[in-house]
Amino acid sequence: MAGKPKLHYTKGRGKMESIRWLLAAAGVEFEEEFIEKKEDLEKLHNDGVLLFQQVPMVEIDGMRMVQTRAILSYIAAKYNLYGKDLKERAWIDMYVEGTTDLMGMIMHLPFQPADTKEKNLALIIERATTRYFPVYEKALKDHGQDYLVGNKLSWADIHLLEAILMAEECKPDVLSAFPLLQAFKGRISNIPTIKKFLQPGSQRKPPTDEKSVAVVRKIF
C-alpha cells in the first residue's frame, strides 16, 4: 500500500472534501477509488477494511485510516501543518472544530426537505456572520499575521478557506463585513498548491446538487 494515498469515497464532497483540500495544500498527489453503487460499499465492508464500517477511508503509509478527524490530524502532522507545539496545536484544533461545525451545516443543506431549506439557509448565514466569521476576523486582527496560528500556514487556514468558499456558495457577499477575512481569502487562495487545487480540472469536487444527493441516498 505504498505510493500515493488512495481515497475511498463517493464522487461528491462530503466528509472527504476536507481531506482532499489538506492533501492538495500539502502538495501531495493522491488517487481516488470512487464508491459509485451500494455494492462498492458492501465490498469494502466484506473485505474488512473499514474499521467502523464507515467511509471516508484513506490508504496512507501502510494504514487504512478511517474517521475524518483522525485522517486530517495525521495528514496535518505529517506535512508540518499542525503548529510547532501543543499550544499552537490546541488553537489549530479549536479553529478547525469551529469551521467543521459551520461546514457541517452547509454540507447537510442539500439533503434537507425543500420546505425547510430556506429557513436552514438563513440560519447558516446568521451563524456564519455572527458566530464563526467574527472569531476569525478578530483572530487575524489580534494576531497581526497572515495566518491564524503562529506565523505560518496551518491546517486551520486551509480549513477556514474551504469554509469561506462554501459559505460564499450560499451567499456570495457573506464576507462583506469582514475585510481581514477578505484579504485572508485572497492570500491563502494564491498559495501555489491551493491555487492549483482551485483551478478547473483539479480533484476538488463541485457543490452537492440533486443528482449527487440521489446517488448518495442509493449507496448509503
pLDDT band at 114 (very low <50, low <70, confident <90, very high): confident
Peptide bond into 56 cis (omega under 30): yes
> In degrees, to the nearest 5, what angle opens at C-alpha 116 toward C-alphas 56 and 94?
45
pLDDT at residue 2 greater than cutoff 90: no
Decide if pLDDT at 1 tops 80. no
Tens digits of residue pLDDT in 40-86: 999 999 999 999 999 999 999 999 999 999 999 999 999 999 999 99
Residues 29, 34, 38: CA angle, nearest 5 degrees? 160
Per the structure block, which three cell numbers stand in for 58? Answer: 484513506
The helix/strand/coil state of 220 is coil
User: For the chain, which domains are there?
Assistant: 6-79+198-211 (3.40.30.10), 86-190 (1.20.1050.10)
pLDDT digits (tens, 9 = 90+) for 76-110: 999 999 999 999 999 999 999 999 999 999 999 99
- How far is the C-alpha of 213 from the C-alpha of 209, rounded, in Å? 6
Q: How far apart are CA 26 and CA 95, in angstroms?
A: 19
Model confidence over 128-174: pLDDT tens digits? 999 999 999 999 999 999 999 999 999 999 999 999 999 999 999 99
